[in-house]
Amino acid sequence: MGRLFGTDGVRGIANADLTAELALGLSVAAAHVLAEAGSFAGHRPVAVVGRDPRASGEFLEAAVVAGLASAGVDVLRVGVLPTPAVAYLTGALGADLGVMLSASHNAMPDNGIKFFARGGHKLDDVLEDRIEEVYGEHRTGAPWNRPTGAGVGRVKDYDEGFDQYVAHLIGVLPNRLDGLKIVLDEAHGAASHVSPEAFSRAGAQVITIGAQPDGLNINEDCGSTHLDLLKSAVVEHGADFGIAHDGDADRCLAVDGSGAEVDGDQILAILALSLRERDALRENTVVGTVMSNLGFKLAMEREGIHVVQTAVGDRYVLESLKEYGYALGGEQSGHVIVLDHATTGDGTLTGLLLAARVAATKRPLAELAAVMDRLPQVLINVPDVDKSRVASTPELSAAIAEAEAELGTTGRVLLRPSGTEPLVRVMVEAADIDHARAVAGRLADVVKSTLG
């Protein structure tokens, strides 16, 4: 059995890779590992379980709830809510763990399981490795120590979670959004009801698209991975700007009033300046990743803000924020973490804070986003390759070195195995878009020929 946990939980095709048996077994294993670590000492454990609207989430939720209850964990089932809502409620309710069933931006056939520890923080690698180990031991025949009688977990629906989370979001805002017309693309996902409710309560005039989830249409030609519908809607309705989430709403991308994309780096830059103005940007530092556009780093340096870069993945951004006490970090993809108010990327919170900045400054989003110039950046996903050999193939290493020498100081190259999908991401940044495309295309061909 290969490693189950990737950079963002366990993912796979639901009912093929990610089965009910696996979901149940991992949930039982997680309960035992957390008990082993002393997380449940002296009290009866409680878990918060939520999901996105995927059809497969219905049976996977049942399996997770069954596994936890069979291990003696009481379960609060919060239903369809964003990943950051489950993380928030795990902390706010004092629960011992949280479980979110979602494959985020992935296509509908996929699903995933993400565990949160007490406080709503993602489990660290050591605990995930131990969960896999314990699951493997019992999958091969070692019996579980199961409670009986009154020791089994109890299950109840926690319908208050929706309003509790929306109230939290509204409470974070430094100012209202009155006078703004905003288009929200909910990706037919977990924020389809939460996000419009929050923006409306904050005073914005809201127009929604992609907000009719039926279990099968999540992320389908909409949301943060498909911005064309949002761009058209913003222009059609004469909106101030638009916000796009992904399936579990831990991401936020934006579109300005002209229909131009505002990516995660630009959003991060805008929020960094906003937090600094309110003396909330601790250590005058913002955390990005190695995928952050060079234009972001240059803009922050020009503004006197220090940039720390981590490996790709919001968990690594979060680790840096927690370790050094920084307040803000995120990724170009739209994962933004405002640590004073969230323990994970929160797309709805990010969108609200972005809107609050527009409302407070009375400046259009395009003008705020112009704080940085995006260098042309080309990203090619190369599927169906052996991503484990990226760093150990001489021919590929030589091709990367050649590309880096060709770009010199005006660009850069990054090859990264996906943490959630069987593919390698080739990123090339250059002063000229055609040059970036040419170099990226050549490298992608080498990846296919050497790792395919």
Element (H, E) at 9: strand 9-13
Q: Are 328 and 337 in contact (CB under 8 A)?
A: yes
Coil, helix or strand for 371?
A: coil
d(CA 88, CA 171): 13
Query: Is position 104 annotated in a ligand binding site?
Result: yes
Residues known to be catalytic? 104
Query: Is position 265 annotated in a ligand binding site?
Result: no
Question: No. of H helices and E strands in the chain?
Answer: 14, 19
**Amino acid in the structure at residue 338:** V
Buried b (16+ CB within 10 A) or exposed e, 152-191: ebebeebeebbebbbebbbebbeebbeebbbbbbbbbbbb
Task: Please state the separation of Cα 160 from the chain's center in Å.
Answer: 24
Query: How big is the CA angle at 35 (ends 31 and 37), to the nearest 5 degrees?
Result: 120
In angstroms and rounded to an integer, the radius of gyration of the C-alpha atoms of the chain is 22
Coil, helix or strand for 322?
A: helix
Element (H, E) at 11: strand 9-13
Q: Are 347 and 191 in contact (CB under 8 A)?
A: yes
Closest CA to 210 of 345, 195, 199, 200: 195
d(CA 224, CA 248): 11
d(CA 348, CA 162): 13
Q: Are 138 and 28 in contact (CB under 8 A)?
A: yes
Query: Is position 248 annotated in a ligand binding site?
Result: yes
Full DSSP string of 159-182:
TTHHHHHHHHHHHH-SS--TT-EE
Q: How many CA atoms lie within 13 A of 69 on its CB side?
A: 16
Can you read off the two tokens belonging to residue 329? 């970090």
Q: Name the residue with tokens 């916000």.
A: 243
Query: Is position 74 annotated in a ligand binding site?
Result: no
d(CA 192, CA 223): 11
**Amino acid in the structure at residue 226:** H
Closest CA to 68 of 45, 52, 93, 89: 45
Phi and psi torsions of 52, nearest 5°: -90, 180
Q: Which residues are annotated as a binding site?
A: 104, 246, 248, 250
**Binding site listing for Mg(2+):** 104, 246, 248, 250
